[in-house]
Amino acid sequence: MEIVTVPCLSDNYAYLVRGPGGVCLIDAPEAAPIAAALSERGWGLDTLLITHHHHDHVGGVDELRATFGCSVVGPRAEQEKMPALDLAVQGGDVLEVAGTRCEVIYVPGHTLGHIAFHFPEAQAVFTADSLMALGCGRVFEGTPEMMWDSLSKLAALPPETMVCSGHEYTQSNARFALTIEPGNATLKSRANDIAKARAEGLPTATCKLSEELATNPFLRPDSPEIRDLLGMKTATDAEVFAEIRARKDKF
Q: Which residues are annotated as a binding site for Zn(2+)?
A: 52, 54, 56-57, 110, 129, 167
Q: Which residues are annotated as a binding site?
A: 52, 54, 56-57, 110, 129, 167
Mode of pairing for the β-strands spanning 2-8 and 162-165: unpaired
